[in-house]
Amino acid sequence: MQSKFEQLYDMYYDCVYRYIFVSVKNKWNAEDIIATVFTKIFENKDKITEVEESKNWIFRIAHNTIIDFYRKNSKVIPIENFLDIGDEDFGYEDIVIRDEFNGVSKIIDVLPEDTKKMLYLRFYGGLKFREIAEVVNITENTVKSTISRAIKKIKKNYEHSLRGDISG
C-alpha cells in the first residue's frame, strides 16, 4: 500500500514537471524545482487529506517555487542561449514543427507573466479554470476571460506572422 505522498508523486509528477519546464524553459532548472516542490510536499505530508483533492495545493507550491527561483536567479541566463544546436539530427518535418512551436512560443513570451502562468497551468498542467483560479488567487471568470483573450491574441498574431505581417 502506497503512502499518500507516494500516490501524489505518482499521480501529479508529470503534469507538475511539464508546468515547471514550460515556465523556466530549462531541463536542469525544472528538475531542481520539481525536487524542491516534492521536498516541500514531503515535509508537509501530514497536510495531505485526500490525494485527488491535493492538486491545487501542489500547483500552488509549484507556482510559488517558480517565483522563488526567479527571485533568486534573476540574473541567470539559460544555458540554451550558449548552445548552438544544429538541425543535423532532425528531419524536415521535425524542423517545421519546431519552427512553428518556436513561433507560437515567441508570441506567448510577450504576454504578461500572469497570463502566461494561466496558459501554462491550463495547457501544460491540465488544470481546470476553477483550479487555476485557486492557484493564482483570482476569480474563475477572470481566468476564463484572460485565457480566452490570450488564445485569440496568439491565433491572430500567429496568422499575421505566417503572412509576414508581424505587427499583428
Check whether 76 has a pLDDT greater than 70. Answer: no
Residue predicted with more confidence, 95 or 40: 40
Q: Which three cell numbers stand for residue 61?
A: 507550491
Per-residue pLDDT at 36 exceeds 80: yes
11-30 per-position pLDDT tens digit: 999 999 988 988 888 888 99
The pLDDT of residue 87: 43
The helix (run of H) or strand (run of E) holding residue 61 is helix 55-72
Q: Would you call 82 exposed, middle or buried from its count of C-beta atoms within 10 A (0-12, 13-18, 19+)?
A: exposed
User: What is the pLDDT confidence band of residue 133, given thresholds at 50, 70 and 90?
Assistant: very high
**Is-above-0.75 flag for pTM?**
no
Whether the per-residue pLDDT at 97 is higher than 60: the answer is no
